Amino acid sequence: MLLTRLAPERARAFEHFSKMMEEIFSNDLRGPWMPNVDVKETDKEVIFIAELPGLEQKDVEVELNGDILTIHGSREFNKEERKEDYVRIERNYGSFHRSFTLEMPVKPDAISATFKNGVLTVTLPKVEGAIPKKIHVKQG
């Protein structure tokens, strides 16, 4: 097997070029930051569970406008660290925005949101009329 070895100055130039190309294209290829959100529905409520690692409660906002639930916030790069010291950055930074259309009426005054260990849980109780009622079918 024949191996080609670059001269040290060419290897450094190639490494610099590779880092520069990664910086230029890495954010565009990944796209904007979109945290993962699970949606769980029971007979009485709808629950949204969002993974927001590295955020604090003050970094997150939840809003209900009509039938649209919106979760937004931001995660900033630690200004005490220097980007130049990193060899690779894969975590996303900046602001995010997720909106969900609710398919049933909920009680706006009874909505609760908790934030623990980087996980946001938003619980939306359904309006009584929207809670499905099982009807027993009798043999006739």
CATH assignment, 33-128: 2.60.40.790
Cα dihedral: 16, 20, 22, 26 (round 10): 160
pLDDT band at 93, cuts 50/70/90? Answer: confident
Pairing of strands 68-75, 94-101: antiparallel
Domain ranges of the chain: 33-128
SS3 79: coil
pTM comes to 0.68
- Gap between the Cα atoms of 17 and 42, Å rounded: 53
Find the mean pLDDT for residues 87-95.
77
Across the beta sheet with 94-101, the strand order is 60-65, 68-75, 94-101
Find the mean pLDDT for residues 5-26.
66
pLDDT band at 92, cuts 50/70/90? Answer: confident
